[in-house]
Amino acid sequence: MKLGWRNTRLKKGVYMDGHERQDVKEYRQNVFLPLMARYEQAMIKWEPIGSELVCKDPSLGPGEIRIVPIFQDESSFHANEYKQNIWCTQSLTYYG
């Protein structure tokens, strides 16, 4: 360690989101999924016709707007992009 800096190896951890906790399961079943089912009625849908996908607009009532869902796979941006070692000062504490 020179001038207060040290080379530290970062530890990899596993992220746990608690998706099987009882309160999370109840929220998913009683709030999130019914809300998504209502939204789905206003979403565009892509249907396979032959070898192509065709966009089908929803049937909307007066004052309703079309919803275009955009989904993201959270794992798509975690592909080996983290450094394994970093230089840090003695005062830095890494929780990993």
Asked if residue 44 lies in contact with residue 67, where contact means CB atoms within 8 angstroms, the answer is: yes
User: pLDDT class for 88, splitting at 50, 70, 90?
Assistant: confident
Model confidence pLDDT, tens digit, residues 16-71: 667 788 998 999 999 999 999 999 999 988 899 999 999 999 999 999 999 988 87
Q: What is the pTM of this model?
A: 0.51
Please name the residue ranges forming H helices in 1-96: 22-27, 33-40
- Cβ atoms of 43 and 57 within 8 Å: the answer is no
